[in-house]
A = this chain, B = another copy of it.
Amino acid sequence: MKNNKESKDLSFDFDFLDKLVVGIGEVSQITGIPTRQIRYWEEKRIIDSLTEEEGKNRRYNYENIKKMLLIKELMDEGYTLDSAAEKVKKRMEMIENTLNKLQGKQL
């Protein structure tokens, strides 16, 4: 069953999350990770963005942001950037699953 775009009650709002795309400044505010560091992670291909062309401003979706937060968490626990990034992949899959289940239930 698809998420009904017309539903007015919007118990919660997965459509919103789907459309949610933000710039690097906002990501930095949300996550507490400095913009400089976000660019560095991207440069190292630890994370990626939705940015269309180079030179244009970077864009991130919920998944991107979530990934940064998870990596940050692990690094605070002592992981290196690379190992954290690796570990996060699996965690992301779990989250993806959880979200899908919730979405399926339409809350």
Interface residues, chain A, with chain B CB atoms under 8 Å away: 8-13, 16, 19-23, 25-26, 29-30, 62, 65-66, 73, 95, 98-99, 102, 107
Contact = CB atoms under 8 A, between A and B. Distances in A.
Nearest to A98: B11
Contacts of A12: 12, 99, 102
Contact of A26 (B9, B23, B98): B23
A26 B21 CA distance: 6
A27 B66 CA distance: 20
23 contacts: A8-B73, A9-B98, A10-B98, A11-B98, A12-B102, A13-B66, A16-B30, A19-B29, A19-B30, A20-B20, A20-B22, A20-B26, A20-B30, A21-B26, A21-B29, A22-B22, A22-B23, A22-B26, A23-B23, A23-B25, A26-B26, A102-B107, A107-B107
